[in-house]
Amino acid sequence: MEKVTIEQIAKLADVSKATVSRVMNQTGGVSEKKLQRVQNVMKELDYRRNLVVRGSSAEHTKNIGVIVPEISKPFYARMIEQVEKYAFKKGYHILLASSQMSTEKEKERLMALAAMHVEGIILVSLAREAMPCHIRLKKDKMPLVLFDEKVEGLNYDV
């Protein structure tokens, strides 16, 4: 997948790179008209902000995302503990998120972890059928392990 740049967004929205930056960082100083143009272009291009710290390798973050419906449930707490122990032995760290029993929050968490360039995601999905975010991750070749439940229409290699 080709990376969308600030320059591309600025050109298509007919604004400066500084304006795009102000929109992305929500620092203000942008007219409503320009704000809408930039946001529309970002949406059209399916722009996802790169949250990896400058200087680190996006291909080797050594981070794995883990999303569960509820962190406080003993079943998930034990699962998280075992995943974290194994990941640490292999030189990885986990980034933990809860979907809080919401498919909309699951989508948000998935996209946030992908933007952080995790090397894979372990997911306990609430969805019973594939959502566009699941399809997007597969298209982007994001390694995804579905834990505990099957998601119809989402065929990852087993």
pLDDT value at 56 more than 80: no
Q: Tell me the two tokens of residue 78.
A: 């034990």
What is the average per-residue pLDDT within 41-66?
71
pLDDT-based confidence at residue 102 (cuts at 50, 70, 90): very high
Q: Which two tokens stand for residue 111?
A: 């996209």
What's the first-to-final CA gap in the chain, in angstroms?
24
Residue carrying structure tokens 């597969």: 138
CA distance linking residue 79 with residue 16, whole number of Å: 47
Q: Is the pTM of this model over 0.85?
A: no
Most trustworthy range by pLDDT among 44-48, 85-89, 146-150 = 85-89
| pLDDT-derived band at 139, boundaries 50, 70, 90 | confident
Helix/strand/coil (H/E/C) assignment for every residue in the chain: CCCCCHHHHHHHHCCCHHHHHHHHHCCCCCCHHHHHHHHHHHHHCCCCCCCCCCCCCCCCCCEEEEEECCCCCHHHHHHHHHHHHHHHHCCCEEEEEECCCCHHHHHHHHHHHHHCCCCCEEECCCCCECCHHHHHHHHCCCCEEECCCCCECCCCCC
